[in-house]
Amino acid sequence: MTAIEQYMIDTYRASQQGVPMPPPPGRDDVAVVRSLRTYAQARAVMEGRPARHPWRAALRRILVRPRAC
């Protein structure tokens, strides 16, 4: 069963029982990613490392071509 199918079943059940509708799937994905980033930055500060974004440096290494000497 996909997330959309489960959401439709839960929405129907909520409407029948008179309870609040569940949030749609994927609604809070961006907020979760932001909180994970904030947590990683806070851990870096507590451990004495720079609080830069680790994924940004990894992405830069992948995308930037090495210079030919």
Summarize pLDDT for 18-49 with one digit per residue, the tens.
Answer: 999 998 888 888 899 889 888 988 898 899 98
Q: Determine the Cα–Cα distance for residues 61 and 53; give it in Å rounded to an integer.
A: 13
Residue 67 has pLDDT above 70, yes or no: no
Residue 69 has pLDDT above 70, yes or no: no
Residue 15 has pLDDT above 90, yes or no: yes
pTM: 0.49
- Which residues fall within 8 angstroms of residue 3, CB to CB, at 6 or more apart? 25, 26
